Structure 1
């Protein structure tokens, strides 16, 4: 068996930040357990509570960039050239990483939907068959666009659909297009992020948030960053500067998004994607040593796929328990955030140990015994808003 690629602590921490923003956002929505009306919200600055509460969507785009970067980096490490992609190994790796846990979660969601549990049962224009079929065919965002918002526990599947549709076509383009044309196509897609979003009227909320092409544009930024990192290795000072600039860009979008949006002609998502790409290039060029104080955040990054698919079970359960105990009062909502996040991590860890890790080990053992080391399936396993712990946001 070949040695497993060592994890990058900085990238795991970046994924940890992204998944933490997603979990907190889903807790903090105004119709759940908002932070702002709580006692803590009365003394925390409004900008801080908003930054903590309302950046789940932006966090998913951070995951998209990470996904494109890591998968491209691994493909280049294996073959040295994107035109040498082993399609069978690539698709098999994606299926191995995505489908087992997805299947377990869909079975659980379906059972709760059949029981009519709020947050799991289909909406008026939806059916359980429609939810399942669209989830398994990676057309979930399309289904939501036609039928309205999906039940809360199912709704997270939209980003997985965008990633997997991209990765169905991406290796085919790598094989079919000369490198200059491939780079040009990726650059055009990346630069089209804001124009593509503007094609959908904000009044159509579902499609404005969940259309395929804007998400694919963010993945393209990650792919381009990986291609750049392959050719350019910044020195230590340059990498530090890149990390600072990238971090400042992310902080500006997360903390002052409306100002960035207004003064950069709606270009805040460019700042988000470029900032994430800069952090990734710096992290790969000069990987930092793990730091004990941030190990918890890196662990969240390692579990980001499991966390992403399962956290709504904890979120919805927490909301129900809080309301049963406190009624309509929102004064103490801030108290539930730490234990809810811890429970999400515990559940994700259980899923990793019982579902994700055993199957990955089995496939890794099979692939390395049946193929040369360069075809190790673990090198191709997924990475984004979705598939965090295989490389993994």
Structure 2
């Protein structure tokens, strides 16, 4: 099982409107993308630190929370994406019902396409060269098919039909969910009265688990990557943005919301088995509600940049670049480790920090190269 983005591509409203960045939201994005990267390192190493020389000093629950929540982190990205996109329309056009279609789609294209085109060119080149992790292993897949489905945002349908994509390509599934949602979302904003739109989004958000239940668990690829459940998480974020337009909690209330939101995320990421067992299999609901509470609190009263957390906020600002590019570094690091040390897991703990640093450096370079003015 692989995890993906984020949110993959979130429009940065603070940058778009020339305002100060929201450190709280950036840190939330930073936490989510770190969980994704570590998850993709943990999969080939079987555990993030467990079999290594340091593993015996770490509680198993902590190891699992750090190493195997990449999929859940993508759902946090979905919520963040819905919140920021809806807020950008409200702040730019005054209301969701007055969304400027031309400006909206142009902004999405400027944010998504330059980096996506560069990453796809690299993926295609490595795939055609037969590099493991990038070249199709199934006879049902081809580099052309992977490329076409990624460009048309039908990657999930292609994977559901042909099986798991190569690891280097697989992160593209969440981007397909986001962009299909945003192709139709502004049209719904213009066509539907506000109350009808809110009702539709609420029904969609609450149907997250029933929508997942419609897919047989035996169909593992589609069960993880079906469009409608991912869009339901985006709907949670949009609803939070719509509520933020009408209600600004007092500072004390916002602090309580942030604390409750953090507890929800901690429960969903660290004790998902207990939430699943005792709260009606609702861990994804708890995750989405926690993210909404944090986003609403941070938006109402943006927290001051905390000493010691600046690095996490900076990583959050690079979340899209990190999400699309990190597998190049991860797969290279895993291959290098195995070439030097073989299958021993004793020193895997030493890989994580260097890989994260190289991922950030690559993301910064890509941001400078592809970011629109």
Normalised-by-shorter TM-score class: over 0.9
Deviations 1:264-319 (A, max 9, x none): 11111110000000000000111011123111100110000000000000000110
The alignment status of 1:325 with 2:363, answered yes or no, reads no
| Structure 2 match to 1:195 | 210
| Structure 2 match to 1:61 | 75
Deviations 1:313-359 (A, max 9, x none): 00001101110111110011011000101110000000001112xxx
| Structure 2 match to 1:377 | none
Deviations 1:164-195 (A, max 9, x none): 00000100101111111100000000000011
1:98 equivalent among 112, 118, 127 = 112
1:111 equivalent among 122, 125, 133 = 125
1:31, distance to aligned residue in structure 2 (A): 5.3
Matches for 1:300-311 after TM superposition, within 5 Å: 300-311=315-326
1:199, distance to aligned residue in structure 2 (A): 1.1
Deviations 1:85-118 (A, max 9, x none): 1101101111111000000000011111111000
| Structure 2 match to 1:7 | 21
2:242 equivalent among 199, 212, 227 = 227
2:99 equivalent among 59, 66, 85 = 85
1:64, distance to aligned residue in structure 2 (A): 0.2
Q: Which has the higher contact order (CA 8 A, sep 6+)?
A: 1
Q: What is the alpha-carbon distance in structure 2 between the residues aligned to residue 196 and residue 211 of structure 1?
A: 9
| Structure 1 match to 2:42 | 28
Q: What is the alpha-carbon distance in structure 2 between the residues aligned to residue 210 and residue 262 of structure 1?
A: 23
| Structure 2 match to 1:387 | none
Matches for 1:266-305 after TM superposition, within 5 Å: 266-305=281-320
1:204, distance to aligned residue in structure 2 (A): 1.1
The alignment status of 1:147 with 2:162, answered yes or no, reads yes
Matches for 1:232-243 after TM superposition, within 5 Å: 232-243=247-258
State the Cα RMSD in Å. 1.3
Determine helix, strand or coil for the equivalent of 1:37: coil
Deviations 1:95-147 (A, max 9, x none): 11100000000001111111100000012210111000000000101100000
TM-score (norm 2): 0.94
Q: What is the alpha-carbon distance in structure 2 between the residues aligned to residue 91 and residue 34 of structure 1?
A: 39
Given that residues 32 and 319 in structure 1 are in contact (C-alpha distance below 8 angstroms), is that contact kept between their aligned partners in structure 2?
Answer: no
| Structure 2 match to 1:369 | none
| Structure 1 match to 2:355 | 340
1:50 equivalent among 54, 61, 64 = 64
| Structure 2 match to 1:350 | 365
Q: What is the alpha-carbon distance in structure 2 between the residues aligned to residue 245 and residue 201 of structure 1?
A: 33
Q: What is the alpha-carbon distance in structure 1 between the residues aligned to residue 40 and residue 217 of structure 2?
A: 21
Q: Where does the alignment leave 5 or more consecutive residues of structure 2 unmatched?
A: 1-15
Change (3 A) 1:28 1:45: same
Given that residues 33 and 319 in structure 1 are in contact (C-alpha distance below 8 angstroms), is that contact kept between their aligned partners in structure 2?
Answer: no
4+ aligned runs moved over 6 Å, structure 1? none
1:32, distance to aligned residue in structure 2 (A): 5.9
Given that residues 34 and 330 in structure 1 are in contact (C-alpha distance below 8 angstroms), is that contact kept between their aligned partners in structure 2?
Answer: no
| Structure 1 match to 2:8 | none
Change (3 A) 1:3 1:29: closer
Aligned length: 358
TM-score (norm 1): 0.89
Deviations 1:56-109 (A, max 9, x none): 000000000000001111111122211111101101111111000000000011
1:42, distance to aligned residue in structure 2 (A): 1.6
| Structure 2 match to 1:246 | 261
Determine helix, strand or coil for the equivalent of 1:36: coil
